[in-house]
Amino acid sequence: NTRFMIVPKKWMVAASLALITTFGVWTIKSLYYPSHEAIYETYFQVDRNTIYPVVRGESIKTIEFRAFVAYEAHNYYKAINLFNSVKNSDETHIIYYKALCFLALDKTGEAINLLNNVAINNKLDNTSVSLKEKANWYLAMAYLKNNETAKAVARLSIIENNPDSNFKKQEAKEVLNYLK
């Protein structure tokens, strides 16, 4: 009289095979299909300041200039406060860089709201058109961070299918291959 029931060998073999198969599938999936977080960490990089380049030796003249100095120094909380304080805080480039600050601080909800404003804006000048293209990339990254795969795929498809844009087109194709 033992307390344990004897398990037939065929059930032990079946359980072992199921365990090995599960472990194998999990290993292969993690190697070839990285998680959203891993994709985000690989592909996210804060955009460089192309609107208001900061040059050494230049004195701080305006709040907008100070905001971009803070942005380039990766002092994103200060940059956000300064971007909120500028007179033209509703301009596309201010909204865009403020959104990138939020994204760098892992505040994806705020970043998504701001980037959507840039991405859907149809009244843009030449500089803002390139920011609109970039906003789609960063929206895709924010959606990945939030595990919103369908929305990320939609934004990446916009980038991939836009013949006029070259910004992050190759990266968009790579990320789409992971997500599809």
Share of the chain above pLDDT 90, in %: 35
Residue pLDDT, tens place only, 141-157: 999 999 898 999 999 99
Q: Which pLDDT band holds residue 1 (cuts at 50, 70, 90)?
A: low
pLDDT tens per residue across span 103-134: 999 999 999 999 998 888 766 565 566 888 89
Higher pLDDT, 142 or 1: 142
Q: What is the pLDDT of residues 23-63, one digit of tens each?
A: 888 777 666 677 788 888 888 888 888 777 776 666 667 88
Q: What is the pLDDT of residue 104?
A: 94
pLDDT given at position 27? 77
Q: How far is the C-alpha of 147 from the C-alpha of 65, rounded, in Å?
A: 35
pLDDT > 70: percent of the chain: 86
- Mind giving me the DSSP string for the chain? --SSPPPPHHHHHHHHHHHHHHHHHHHHHHHHS--HHHHHHHH--PPP--SS---TT----SHHHHHHHHHHTT-HHHHHHHHHHSTTTTSHHHHHHHHHHHHHTT-HHHHHHHHHHHHH--S--HHHHHHHHHHHHHHHHHHHHTT-HHHHHHHHHHHHH-TT--TTHHHHHHHHHHH-
